[in-house]
Chain A
Amino acid sequence: MVSTEYYIALSSIIFVIGAVGVLTRRSAIMVFLSVELMLNAANLALVAFARQWSAAGSMTALNGQAAVFIILAIAAAEVAVGLGILVAIFRYRSSTDIDALSEVRL
């Protein structure tokens, strides 16, 4: 079995790739996609730690997986609201360039 530290390393790589995307892309939709990458990297770490903690008993170990379930639901809500804001902004500006959105007004 592959030990936990490899999963954590993979998780950190995916997370920083997502972070670089958030910082460097200008289109809001690309920033959103990068945020999804970061969320999933955190989920991977949680699932890997859940297995690492199996010795502490079934309840403790499964808490990690339950937390991932909650994060999935939150991500769904975040995407719905975020894309709603994106559509609203696009209607006024005809652009999703976040550098041009330094002032959030009508």
Chain B
Amino acid sequence: MLGFLLLSAIMIVGAVGVISLRQPVHAALSLVGTLLTLAVTYVTLQAHFLAAIQVIVYAGAIMVLFLFVIMLLNIQGAQQASEMKWIRPVAYGVAVLAAAGIAITAFRNASPLPDTATINAALQGGGAAQVGEALFSEFVLPFQLVGILLLTGIIGATSLVQRRAMTIYGEPVKKAVAATKPAKAKAGVAVLERPEASHTEPNHLKPSHTESAPSHDADIDKEIKEILEPDDLKLIKGVGPILEGLLHEHGIYTFAQIAALKPDEIKDLDKKLDFHGRIEREDWVSQAKVLAEGKKQ
């Protein structure tokens, strides 16, 4: 009993640490402590194989994954209070009620444990052979399904974190500039600078890909910089790398261009890029105005 109380105390302290520590790394390490204590508890419950698996898979593999992601993303423990202030007291209240309810039910309906001989005969220490027998007889179907689930999970996780930046930054930008080359040669001014002809030709935002004849990619890359001096559109709140790529694709490279957008152009762009009114909602235009002015000075 004393051992159990000690284990419970360590486990609960660890669990409270997980939800209260500010630094994610500290919280993750606190969880490692809880999981290792849980492995010891499994041993006291005659589940030796599960105890080993708990240490290897949970405290080992899964927690390493967590720590990798925390350190990779360099997540800091900026802990602001939730916007919903009422949620904290409500959560604590419901939690205490629920735990008390489960515990009271467990104690009121408690039935005595079978004697030690029966337990030892049935579980046989919960070794790999015994658990494996159950796993490959009654649990064959779940076992196979878990295999499929793991495969799906691996494919899903890989496709989620795959980088697609090259296709966004590379090709469309070159095509856009190649399309503007003839126009520039005629007018002497880059169309992309600030197309005044936008009222008459609403399709100006989408460079036509038909007349593109990119002969020297390096030349075109240089030309992008010369003509446009593209701004870092990501500085606008709400624009990330993907959206920046989409804007480039539609011939928008500078803050000045966004600042000068007219309402009907915004609507047009919104529809083309499938932005669902984000340009207005996040007020890119006035953001871009501020940024463009900041650039001039």
- Chain A residues with a Cβ under 8 A of chain B: 1-10, 12-21, 23-27, 29-30, 32-34, 36-37, 40, 43-44, 47-48, 50-59, 61-63, 65-70, 72-81, 83-88, 90-93, 96, 99, 105-106
Q: Which residues of B contact A93 (CB under 8 A)?
A: 240
* Contact yes or no, B98 A12, CB < 8 A: yes
The A interface, classified by DSSP as helix, strand, loop or mixed, is: helix
* Contact yes or no, B123 A12, CB < 8 A: no
Q: Which residues of B contact A83 (CB under 8 A)?
A: 65-66, 69, 157
* Contact yes or no, A17 B45, CB < 8 A: no
How far apart are the CA atoms of A9 and B102 in the complex, in Å?
7
- The interface on chain B, measured as residues whose beta carbon lies within 8 A of the other chain's beta carbons, has a size of 95
* Contact yes or no, B113 A3, CB < 8 A: yes
* Contact yes or no, B133 A62, CB < 8 A: yes
Min Cβ gap A90→B in Å is 5
How far apart are the CA atoms of A52 and B47 in the complex, in Å?
13
One of B74-82, B194-202, B249-257 at the interface: B74-82
Could you write out 14 A-B pairs with CB less than 8 Å apart? A2-B4, A14-B12, A14-B34, A17-B16, A36-B58, A36-B62, A37-B18, A51-B123, A77-B150, A80-B65, A80-B154, A86-B73, A92-B240, A105-B278
* Contact yes or no, A90 B112, CB < 8 A: no
Q: Which residues of A contact B38 (CB under 8 A)?
A: 40, 43-44
Question: Which of B80, B98, B114 is close to A26, meaning CB atoms less than 8 Å apart?
Answer: B80
* Contact yes or no, B113 A51, CB < 8 A: yes
Which B-chain residue is minimally distant from A92 (CB atoms)? B240
How far apart are the CA atoms of A53 and B134 in the complex, in Å?
14
1/0 per position for B89-122, CB-CB distance to A under 8 A?
Answer: 0011011101100110011001111101011011
One of B135-143, B173-181, B264-272, B287-295 at the interface: B135-143
Which A-chain residue is minimally distant from B18 (CB atoms)? A33
1/0 per position for B11-46, CB-CB distance to A under 8 A?
Answer: 110011011000010011001001100100110111
How far apart are the CA atoms of A15 and B130 in the complex, in Å?
28
Interface centre among A36, A51, A65 (most CB of B within 10 A): A65
Question: Which of B53, B65, B95, B160 is close to A79, meaning CB atoms less than 8 Å apart?
Answer: B65
Question: Which of B46, B107, B161, B276 is close to A84, meaning CB atoms less than 8 Å apart?
Answer: B161
Question: Which of A2, A67, A92, A99 is close to B83, meaning CB atoms less than 8 Å apart?
Answer: A99
Question: Which of A13, A27, A58, A84 is close to B75, meaning CB atoms less than 8 Å apart?
Answer: A27
Which A-chain residue is minimally distant from B24 (CB atoms)? A29
Min Cβ gap B278→A in Å is 8
How far apart are the CA atoms of A79 and B271 in the complex, in Å?
36
* Contact yes or no, B50 A63, CB < 8 A: no
* Contact yes or no, B103 A50, CB < 8 A: no
How far apart are the CA atoms of A37 and B113 in the complex, in Å?
27
Question: Which of A2, A19, A47, A85 is close to B50, meaning CB atoms less than 8 Å apart?
Answer: A47
Min Cβ gap A81→B in Å is 5
Question: Which of A23, A37, A62, A81 is close to B15, meaning CB atoms less than 8 Å apart?
Answer: A37
Interface centre among A19, A37, A67, A74 (most CB of B within 10 A): A37
Q: Which residues of B contact A85 (CB under 8 A)?
A: 160
Question: Which of A9, A13, A24 is close to B88, meaning CB atoms less than 8 Å apart?
Answer: A24
How far apart are the CA atoms of A26 and B248 in the complex, in Å?
34
* Contact yes or no, A40 B34, CB < 8 A: yes
Question: Which of B49, B112, B149, B156 is close to A3, meaning CB atoms less than 8 Å apart?
Answer: B112
Interface centre among B18, B19, B92, B152 (most CB of A within 10 A): B19
* Contact yes or no, A18 B113, CB < 8 A: no
1/0 per position for B127-169, CB-CB distance to A under 8 A?
Answer: 0001101110111001100100110111011101100000000
Min Cβ gap B94→A in Å is 8
* Contact yes or no, A1 B243, CB < 8 A: no
